[in-house]
Structure 1
Amino acid sequence: MLLKTLQECAARAQPAALVEEAGGWWLRHSPGDAWWVGSVLPHDREDRVALAESFCTARGSDVRFQITPGVCADDLDERLDVRGYERSRDMSLQIASTADVLRQADADVGEINAQPTDGWLAAWHAVTGRDVHAERDLLSRVEHPSAYAYAEVNGQVVAAGRSVDEHGWAGVFGMATLSHARGQGAARSVLATLATWAAAREANHMYLQMVKSNLSAFRLYERTGFREVCTYHYRIRA
């Protein structure tokens, strides 16, 4: 199933420090990383909510479930609601052909490296505000081929993004553009750079996940060939 495949590729591209599999459920724990990295992926129809709760609480972390319709059990979202879990973060999973991104991005190719540079991390941190050391640790756990692209203006990295290639799909992650450089084609340049890398690896399709309410990002991806294949959300209980 495409949705399950892409969500699990994304989880490997943003790997938690600890992952235990129980049937199709991925129990994940990752202190110091963004909270979604440690969210539970309930990817079969069995009821393992209590097991997931025990896994998380034993490690002192909040319990979070990623709910993807068609991948999780049909009644899981309702059952979590009854158990006191709040709905959070409506997300969009989008896909595109690599060729379409190359054509529609219509931007100069920027710089690319196999590892994140200090400039790449500085731009990413300036936009996200998240911990650079924790991000370095997370990125060091990625096992599949990766690329780190960036666009520069006057020697400063103003936009950054990364891609991970698995099964012919190039996932797009960590897209970040400094506020003063937005609307000037820097993000398009990063996407074009990542698509060029993906095409060279014969990864003919690309995917990304984004917060659905981020309208400026939504427009960017729509204009560069991406289309939404599903929405998903999280259920969280502290």
Structure 2
Amino acid sequence: MDEVERRVAGAEEFYAVHEAVPRFQITPGVCPDGLDALLDGRGYRRHSPVSVRGAATARVLGLERTLKIRVDERPTRAWFDTWQAVNGESRAEWEMLARVDLPSVYVSALVGDDTVAVGRAVADGGWAGVFSMATLPEARGKGAARNVLSALAGWADANNADRMYLQVECGNEAAARLYERAGFAEMCVYHYRSAGPR
């Protein structure tokens, strides 16, 4: 048994102890050579490809803003409720946000007093990571996400992050179009392998 096989066996034991389905993220240049092929040979199904994209903050700043924006240092209840309305209820997500200790921002796009889209950014080492982008179904296609992204870029610029990155699920064409217009270019694609039926 080689080192990669030993690592997989150890991970499978860990998942078994926790009564969970084994799942691996396969990222080019990070994962050991042969891991993807080994998992495929063991019947792990490939799923959920994700595109990692980067852009110059100055380019993203050029997006037009047409909605009222709210900017907070911590997630508000309205921000989180909107995120949850799109992604489903998750106490773990709220708890994870409380543990973020790097400079962060939580942006909300408003129509009247209603939060219709949200996003957050975290600055680290001259980069701003964009996370938790979510738009209510009734606000999609109306520029709400564009307004959030522009405000996040403004915050990134003010916090000396001259580059931004984000992740988008392959197949999310609406988000991909927005990110392409904002100047985000693909840096790599990763996917997952999970045990169980293909």
Query: Could you tell me which residue of structure 1 aligns to residue 177 of structure 2?
Result: 219
Q: Which residue of 2 aligns with 1:100?
A: 59
Q: What pairs with 1:68-87 in structure 2 (closer than 5 Å)?
A: 68-87=27-46
Q: Provide the C-alpha distance between the structure 1 equivalents of 2:27 and 2:123, rounded to a whole number of angstroms.
A: 22
Unaligned runs of 5+ in 1: 1-45
The reply to whether residue 229 of structure 1 matches residue 187 of structure 2 is yes
The correspondence of residues 124-203 of structure 1 with structure 2, limited to 5 A, is 124-131=83-90, 133-203=91-161
CA deviation map 1:141-191 (0-9, x unaligned): 222221100100010000000111111111111101111111211111100
Amino acid at match of 2:78: G
Establish whether residue 208 from structure 1 lines up as the match of residue 173 from structure 2.
Answer: no
The AA in structure 2 aligned to 1:122 is D
What is the SS of the residue equivalent to 1:110?
strand
Match of 2:72 among 113, 121, 142: 113
Structure 2 segments unaligned to the other structure (5+ residues): none
SS of the residue corresponding to residue 52 of structure 2 reads strand
TM-score calculated relative to the size of structure 2 = 0.92
Aligned residues: 192
After superposition, what is the alpha-carbon deviation per residue over 1:59-113, rounded to whole angstroms, capped at 9, x for unaligned? 222211110112212311000111121101011000011111101x222572111
Please provide the CA RMSD for this pair: 1.6
Deviation at 1:201, TM superposition (A): 0.8
Which of 81, 89, 106 is the matching residue for 2:48? 89
The higher-RCO structure (CA 8 Å, 6+ apart) is 2
Q: Percent identity?
A: 51
| Matched letter for residue 64 of structure 1 | R
Letter in 2 for 1:208: L
Larger radius of gyration: 2
1:20-59 correspondence to structure 2 within 5 Å: 47=4, 48-59=7-18
Deviations 1:193-233 (A, max 9, x none): 11111111101111111111100010010011101111110
User: Separation in 1 of the partners of 2:94 and 2:151?
Assistant: 22
Offset of 1:56 from its aligned partner?
2.1
Q: Distance in 2 between the 1:183 and 1:51 partners?
A: 46
SS of the residue aligned with 1:235? strand
Deviations 1:14-60 (A, max 9, x none): xxxxxxxxxxxxxxxxxxxxxxxxxxxxxxxx521112222222222
Q: Quote the Cα distance in structure 2 between the aligned partners of 1:54 and 1:112.
A: 44
